């Protein structure tokens, strides 16, 4: 059941985020894992929602810079965050809507994260690609202020 909850959470989030995003895929995957962990710890729906909010508050800014061996470092950060978020959620500790991008409603949190991943990171994605493809001759910051 925990595995199904994890996978369904990922599918639900991905329907808003889309197939490609500058947001690192481990953010979505480990958010699902956190939900599964809450279930394994005996948590209820409210606590699963707390875990999602905690994950969104913690990892939304993690961007994808291409599949490579260092992805394992991002994944380990995501797994640590999933464990922490689940443990906090079980104790009814949650980042509130008064803080950052977290909304009162968990669906609105997911939509907000997806908006950041789709629209908010559009320019970041261009810059990331420039950095990756121009390692020997990076454009100056002024180049992007046009």
21-72 tens-digit pLDDT: 778 888 999 999 999 999 999 999 999 999 999 999 999 888 887 768 888 8
Supply the pTM of this predicted model.
Answer: 0.86
The maximal CA–CA distance of the chain, rounded, in angstroms, is 53
How much helix, strand and coil, in percent to the nearest 5, is found in the chain? 70, 0, 30
DSSP state of 64: -
Task: List CB contacts of 98: < 8 A, sequence separation 6 or more.
Answer: none
d(C-alpha 57, C-alpha 113), whole Å: 9
d(C-alpha 125, C-alpha 134), whole Å: 14
Higher pLDDT pick, 133 / 101: 101
Q: Look up residue 129 and give its two tokens.
A: 């690609």
Is pLDDT at 108 greater than 70 in this prediction?
Answer: yes
Short-list 38, 24, 114, 122, CA closest to 73:
24
Beta bridge partners of 23: 63
pLDDT category at 146 given cuts 50, 70, 90 is: low
Higher pLDDT pick, 81 / 126: 81
Is pLDDT at 144 greater than 80 in this prediction?
Answer: no
pLDDT of amino acid 40: 98
Q: pLDDT averaged over the chain?
A: 89
């Amino acid at each position: 059941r925990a595995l199904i909850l994890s996978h369904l959470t990922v599918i639900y989030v991905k329907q808003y985020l889309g197939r490609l995003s500058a947001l690192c895929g481990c953010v979505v995957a480990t958010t699902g894992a956190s939900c599964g962990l809450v279930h394994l710890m005996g948590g209820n729906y409210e606590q699963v929602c707390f875990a999602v909010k905690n994950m969104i508050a913690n990892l939304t800014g993690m961007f994808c810079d291409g599949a490579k061996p260092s992805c394992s470092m991002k994944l380990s950060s995501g797994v640590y965050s999933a464990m922490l978020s689940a443990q906090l959620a079980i104790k009814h500790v949650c980042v509130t809507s008064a803080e950052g991008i977290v909304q009162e409603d968990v669906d609105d949190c997911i939509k907000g994260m997806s908006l950041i991943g789709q629209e908010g990171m559009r320019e970041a994605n261009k810059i990331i690609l420039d950095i990756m493809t121009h390692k020997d001759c990076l454009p100056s910051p002024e180049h992007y202020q046009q």
